[in-house]
Structure 1
């Protein structure tokens, strides 16, 4: 019996934005980060399958290993399909050995975009995000060069990631921002904080929120049963607080509660977690990552899952029990909910 094709639900990305799938495809893992990348043949075949399934919203970044190069190969082999895909990429993080440098300066923005387009073999990307903000460049200067790139036809929409509400407002005053990418899942609800006023501000400005790591970097899938599941070479989760020896065992017990709710509802833990993110509003999108076609099909199935108010609250309550921060806030260069200095008069 053939597998049913998942229903793709679309919404406008931000105020007056394009209609795109509410669940996109995060491509970070396609080039490593959670283990070593597969051979090109397998990865290109996965992209073929994603397209066949109707997944036409793809998210990458210039610091995701060879991901842009791989996409360049796929687009070269499938030139007629480019117009059907909404492609976003990011700039601002430079990987330097085992450390990172954040640079959101106008000069680096232009340099990074030119390199991304060359790797992709494309004249433009649909959406460009500032991946992280350095602590020296006023956001107005970064947005101004992005507007120039838009006017040159090299990007179509502007986005930010991991910024503060104040920085988001300042950016929006220069040019409309289509989307802002932030971590959001039942274990990570900081954007809702009344002190940060982030989600409130995005909604006031008509900016879509794109949830990265909507599955808590795989924790909410229920597929992790012990530290041994994270022993692949290159798996960055071993460095994150929620996955360390002190917290992981406790968090697996929390995930078991999520899995019980999913079992009662007749869906997978993955689908339950993604449905929870989407239930937070039509202006919320999510970009779960996977490298497996059957997992992508499972993810897309979440768009057909509806939650009652009681189920949403039950998941939210369990999420409050998580142990450990989502990311180390002391990593050099990282600027979580990043502010930028004021623009000098």
Structure 2
């Protein structure tokens, strides 16, 4: 497994990370034994970076990871944990809490659920508009100084917020959606990260399966599947977006790889300071994703991909309207 370093102050991690959210939340029912087996397969393949959130099924994902990681050398993997999103018993979202006292409370619960004494990268899931980012980061800095956290991360914030946070404590990486059809970060956020020496962990590299090559317009979402409410999967948009996938499929065929592998390779090719996160829920999907790191894309390949899926060509926002206001950048 190749490695990449997250920014100038962050850890060295596997060049591909595992996003664990879908094993517990958002995309319908899952099978616990298969989820654990997928984590094990990722570790055995050399994946060291595992991303979760304390609000993924209200702690379920952290408990699942604790089970999957039990007995493993704690220095053999890195845990990236998001916090701050508030949820109710019905699973609905109720805003974000970035108060310093809340930061320490969230962390204490995560450490216990995960069965560990430290988090490698700790980050607010979203910006709390009622709390200056300096205060939230200041609390994380205290936890770093106390040894409970190794590195500071951010998630889905704009360039100005990145600068303010970085002035309080060095930021290792920004976690943000980045894919062939979600490229708003390229305008201002990515240049700011590179100016400041901050890495990026890119989630949504397959746009929740939309550009994986496995989605079809007539596919029915399972109960609890977020994609039933996602604008890009909506009836008025999905056919257009899948036409982009078919154009990408032709490029992938010429390269001798799958659509998913090409989409992941494209993100990885945007810079060695970017680590794609793949939300594989099964060993089958993980096995497809891993060879993406071996897909070499030259200038001609990148030009063909750009021709197939031009920037801004997707239809629909990347989140439902109610969630767009909490994002640092748009589509």
> TM-score band, normalised by the shorter chain?
over 0.9
Shift of 1:95: 1.6
**Does 1:15 pair with 2:24?**
no
- Structure 2 distance, partners of 1:16, 1:140, is 19
Q: Show structure 1 runs of 5+ residues with no match.
A: 1-7, 339-345
Give 1:136's match in structure 2, choosing from 130, 136, 142: 130
* TM-score, normalised via structure 1 length: 0.90
Q: Show structure 2 runs of 5+ residues with no match.
A: none
Tell me the SS of whatever aligns to 1:181. strand
Shift of 1:285: 0.8
- Structure 2 distance, partners of 1:183, 1:310, is 25
- The more displaced of 50-59 and 200-209 is 50-59
When the two chains are superposed, the root-mean-square deviation of aligned CA atoms in Å is: 1.5
Shift of 1:137: 0.6
Give 2:270's match in structure 1, choosing from 255, 280, 289: 280
CA pair 22-329 structure 1, distance change in 2 beyond 3 A: farther
Shift of 1:318: 3.0
Give 1:299's match in structure 2, choosing from 289, 293, 296: 289
Shift of 1:297: 2.0
Give 1:323's match in structure 2, choosing from 315, 325, 329: 315
Give 1:179's match in structure 2, choosing from 168, 173, 178: 173
Q: Where in structure 2 are the equivalents of 1:1-345 lying within 5 Å?
A: 8-38=1-31, 40-65=32-57, 66-76=60-70, 78=71, 80-96=72-88, 97=90, 98-193=92-187, 197-228=188-219, 230-320=220-310, 321-331=313-323, 334-337=325-328
Deviating above 3 A after TM superposition, structure 1's stretches of 4 or more consecutive aligned residues are 329-332
> Is residue 90–residue 128 contact of structure 1 (8 Å, CA) maintained in 2?
yes
Tell me the SS of whatever aligns to 2:222. coil
- Structure 2 distance, partners of 1:132, 1:310, is 37
- Structure 1 distance, partners of 2:198, 2:123, is 13
- Structure 2 distance, partners of 1:269, 1:179, is 27
Shift of 1:19: 1.5
- Structure 1 distance, partners of 2:315, 2:267, is 20
* TM-score, normalised via structure 2 length: 0.94
- Structure 1 distance, partners of 2:121, 2:101, is 19
- The more displaced of 52-61 and 180-189 is 52-61
- Structure 2 distance, partners of 1:147, 1:83, is 21
Tell me the SS of whatever aligns to 2:81. strand
- Structure 1 distance, partners of 2:9, 2:101, is 30
> Is residue 265–residue 296 contact of structure 2 (8 Å, CA) maintained in 1?
yes
- Structure 1 distance, partners of 2:172, 2:93, is 30
